[in-house]
Structure 1
C-alpha cells in the first residue's frame, strides 16, 4: 500500500498541479489535486483533462488523490502518427502506466463518453489494478456482438451516423479544423440540455449522404450552453487549434480493431464496484437503454445507476454539484485500501 492510499483525511486540498510522465507512446500529461486513494479521471471526445475541472477540487477536498489525464492524442499527451496506436488496448496501457508512474498499486477509474469505454476496458483487462469503475454518460456494454462498423453503416437510411462519418481519415478534420472554436461551440451546444435542437429539428448526430453534408449544418447557431463560459471554450479551442483533431478522431477509427482484439472477452461482466451517471436528455442513454437494463448481469456490483433529469451529454460539466455528490458518496462507501 502506498502512502497516498492510507486512511482518507478530508480537508483543504493542495492546489492542482500539472505533471508529465513517460507512457507507452511517449508522454502522458495529467493534472493532479489532493492526497489519498487514487481516482483516475478519463475524458471523452472532444475534450481534455479540463473536463474534470469541477471534480478535481471536489474529490481532493473529500480526501482523494484526483488525477485527470489528457488521453493519448489530446492536449499535452503524445499523438502517435499511426491510427492503430489509438486502439483500446493501447489506451488501457496508458492508464496502467500512469498509475505506476504515480507510485500507486491500485486506482478507481472514472470515465465520461469515450473515457467511460476506456475506464470499463481498463477495469476489464486489469482488475488487479482498477478496483472500482465509474461510468458517465455511456453505459457499460461487454465486448462482443456484431462488428461495429457494420452496425453504424446501417444506421440512418439516407443519412450517415456521425460515428461512420468520423471513421474516414481526413473527412471530419476538413470540416472542423478551418474553424475549431466555432465547431466545438456548436458540438457542445448540440448535446447540451439547454441548447440542443428540439424534437422537430434534424438530428445533429447524422449528416446527409446525398449532398456531402456536414455535422456543423445541424448544430444550433448563436447559442452557448450555460455550463460553457467563453473562457472554457477558449481552453478547449486552444488545445485543438494547437494539436489538430486527428489524434482525437483516431479513437473512432479503431472500433473494428477493438472488436476483434477483445473478442475473447465477449459477454464478460465487470465484477468491480461500479457507478453509472447519465442524463435523461443524453442520446447515449436512449440508444443504449438495453445496456442499462442489462446492468444486473453486466455490472453485478453496481452501487447505483443515476439518470439526472433534464441533463444532456456533458453530465459532469452540466451538473457538477450533483455528479460530485454522487462520486464522493460512492467513493466514500468503497472499502479503504
Structure 2
C-alpha cells in the first residue's frame, strides 16, 4: 500500500524520443502511471488526474503524444503508426529511469495504451482504458470498413483520411472548431436523439462542424481551458493529430501477427453511457472475458459523454486510484 505523499506542483520537461522531443508533465513520486491523451487534446486532458494520482502516492506522467503540443511533429504521414507511438511510450519509461509502468489512455490514447501493453508486457504491467474499448487487432481493413458506414453520409474517420481535407475545415477557426467538437461529444451539450449525428458528414461539400452545437460550451470546459487547447493547435496545426487516423491501414498490417490477441495484464475499463465509442463497440465490451482476461474492473458511467476524465474527474479519479491500489506491486 502506497502512503500518500505531499504533492508538489506539476513539472514540465522534455525527453528525447525515437523521433525527437517528447514533452511531458509530471507530478508526484512512487510507481509510474503514464497517461496518454486522445484526439484532439494534449497532456492538459489529464489536469485533474495528475494531482489526484500524486496525492495517492504515484508518479503521474502525462505526455503530449507525438504530433501534439510541445512534442516533435515529424513531417512524414507514416511516422504516426501505432508501432512508433508504442516505442515513444517505452522510450519515455526508460528515460524516466523506470523499468515498468501502468499505462492509462483515453480515446486514441486508449488504443495506444492497449497496444503498448500488448506489445510490451514486460514494461506495461497494467493498462487502463477510458472511453474506447479494447478490440484485438484483425478483422477487415479499417478504411474498407469505414467506407461502408453511413450510406449517403461519410464517417468522420474516412473524412480524415485525405491529407489537407479536414485541416481546411479546422485550421481557419481552430478555437471555434474545437469548441463545437468538444460540445458535440459531451453529455450536456451533444445533439438530441434524432438530430444529425456529428460523427458523419454529407458526402458532397459537407463539413463536420455543420452538425456541431453552436454557442455553448460543456460544463467541464471553461473559456480558459478552451484557450489552452486552441493555443496549442493554433501553433502546431492539426496535421500531426490527424495523421494518427491516416495510419489505421498501416497499423492493421503491422499488427497482423497479433490478430485476436488478448491483453493478459490487469486491466480497467471506464466508459460513458452516452459515448458513441461505448455504444458502437458494445460487442467489444461483451468480449472482455476473452480479450481482457486480466480485467479487474469495468464501469459505465451513466449520463457521461466522451471526455470522461474531464466530464467526471472526481469519479474517474476515485476509480483509477482504487484500481491502482488493488494492483500487486
Counterpart of 2:185? 191
State the match for 2:261 in structure 1: 268
1:180 aligns to what? 174
2-structure distance, mates of 1:103, 1:241? 33
Residue 40 of structure 2 corresponds to: 46
- Structure 2 unmatched runs, 5+: none
> Is residue 94 of structure 2 the alignment partner of residue 100 of structure 1?
yes
- The Cα offsets for residues 38-80 of structure 1, whole Å up to 9 and x where unpaired, read as 0000000000000000000000000000000000000000000
TM-score (norm 2): 0.99
Match of 2:14 in 1: 20
How far is 1:8 from its partner?
Answer: 2.5
CA displacement, residues 174-232 of structure 1 (integer Å, 9 cap, x when unaligned): 000000000000000000000000012100000001x3100000000111000000000
Q: Which residue of 2 aligns with 1:154?
A: 148
Residue 304 of structure 1: how far off its partner (Å) = 1.1
Matched, 1:219 2:206: no
Cross-structure match for 2:240: 247
**Residue 9 of structure 1, CA deviation:** 2.5
Contact 2:5 2:28 survives alignment (8 Å) = no
3-state SS of 2:160 partner? helix
1:12 is displaced (CA, Å) by: 1.7
Q: In 2, are the aligned partners of 1:30 and 1:70 still within 8 Å (CA)?
A: yes
Match of 1:310 in 2: 303
> Does the CA-based 8 Å contact 1:269-1:297 persist in structure 2?
yes
The match for 2:224 is 231
Q: Does 1:333 align with 2:326?
A: yes
What SS does the corresponding residue of 1:167 show, helix, strand or coil?
coil
The answer as to whether partners of 1:315 and 1:323 remain within 8 angstroms in 2 is yes
Query: Distance in 2 between the 1:263 and 1:11 partners?
Result: 43
Contact 1:9 1:36 in 2 (8 A): no
Match of 2:64 among 66, 70, 94: 70
Cα distance in 2 between the residues matched to 1:9 and 1:198: 45
Residue 286 (structure 1) aligns with = 279
Q: 1:163 aligns with which of 123, 132, 157?
A: 157
Match of 1:300 among 293, 302, 305: 293
* Aligned counterpart for 2:5 among listed residues 4, 11, 15: 11
TM-superposition CA deviations, 1:263-299 (whole Å, max 9, x none): 0000000000000000000000011000000000000
Q: Please report how far the alpha carbon of residue 32 of structure 1 lies from its aligned counterpart in structure 2 after TM superposition.
A: 0.1
8 Å Cα contact 2:10-2:27 kept in structure 1 = yes
Calculate the TM-score normalised by the size of structure 1: 0.97
Name structure 1 gaps, 5 residues minimum: 1-6
Is this contact kept in 2: 1:274–1:299, CA < 8 A?
Answer: yes
